[in-house]
């Protein structure tokens, strides 16, 4: 920051922000009053620079026993050691199970037999024989319908249909109905009627 210098080589009070006028004051000596104002202003600036805050904004003091909790670290170490010990025990059990012979190969287990096995087998054989007999009766039974007679009846029915049909008969299609045509007009009747009408008209005129 540059200041305007006086003839004596010192920065001027106006460039330093110091008061230089006493017009707002009633004093006997202006020079003395200006020096007093400047001295008070400098004292005020020094106090502002050295002023301390009323609220302590510094971080709180760090306590080693809070940052490094020895008890918590000890508990975690004991817990990790217990977990590791249990894992080793479990691994040993799994290894012994995988390398040992299965129990069903070494132990001689007593075979479980049913008390009514013979009765159930006899019942099963009886049901199988009855089913076989029913199937044989079904296969050996003659049909109630005579296919040859049915075919002959159908041929007779088709012959009847052809005889009564005006158009070629097609099974499954409706038979077209006969259309009634108009009778042709008799021209002699029409001419005779016209001559009779003319005769009546001449008689009325006479």
Specify the higher pLDDT residue, 134 or 22: 134
Specify the higher pLDDT residue, 85 or 185: 85
Question: 169 and 175 in contact (C-beta within 8 Å)?
Answer: yes
Q: Most distant CA pair in the chain: distance in Å?
A: 170
Tell me: the pLDDT tens digits for 31-79? Answer: 888 899 999 999 998 888 888 888 888 888 888 877 788 888 899 999 9
Question: 19 and 38 in contact (C-beta within 8 Å)?
Answer: yes
pLDDT at 62: 83
Which ranges constitute the DSSP H helices of the chain?
30-49, 64-67, 70-99, 103-106, 117-140, 147-164, 187-205
Q: Tokens 């805050």 appear where?
A: 53
Among 10-14, 55-59, 109-113, which is the least confidently predicted range?
A: 10-14
Element (H, E) at 184: none
Tell me: the pLDDT tens digits for 132-164? Answer: 999 999 888 887 888 888 999 999 998 888 888
Structure tokens at 196: 């009779």
CA distance 172 to 168: 12
């Amino acid at each position: 920051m540059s200041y305007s210098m006086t003839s004596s080589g010192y920065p001027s009070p106006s460039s330093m922000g110091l008061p230089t006028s006493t017009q707002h004051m009633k004093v006997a000596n202006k020079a003395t009053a200006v020096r007093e104002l400047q001295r008070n202003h400098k004292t005020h600036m020094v106090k502002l620079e050295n002023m301390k805050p009323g609220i302590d904004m510094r971080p709180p003091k760090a306590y080693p026993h809070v940052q490094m909790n020895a008890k918590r670290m000890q508990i975690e170490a004991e817990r990790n050691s217990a977990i590791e010990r249990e894992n080793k025990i479990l691994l040993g059990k799994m290894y012994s199970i995988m390398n040992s012979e299965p129990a069903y190969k070494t132990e001689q287990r007593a075979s479980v037999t049913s008390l009514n096995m013979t009765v159930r087998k006899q019942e099963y054989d009886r049901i199988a024989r009855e089913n076989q007999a029913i199937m044989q009766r079904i296969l050996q039974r003659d049909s109630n319908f005579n296919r040859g007679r049915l075919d002959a009846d159908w041929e007779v029915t088709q012959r009847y249909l052809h005889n009564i049909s005006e158009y070629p008969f097609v099974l499954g299609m409706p038979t077209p109905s006969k259309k009634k045509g108009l009778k042709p007009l008799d021209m002699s009747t029409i001419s005779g009627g016209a001559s009779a009408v003319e005769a009546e008209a001449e008689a009325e005129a006479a």
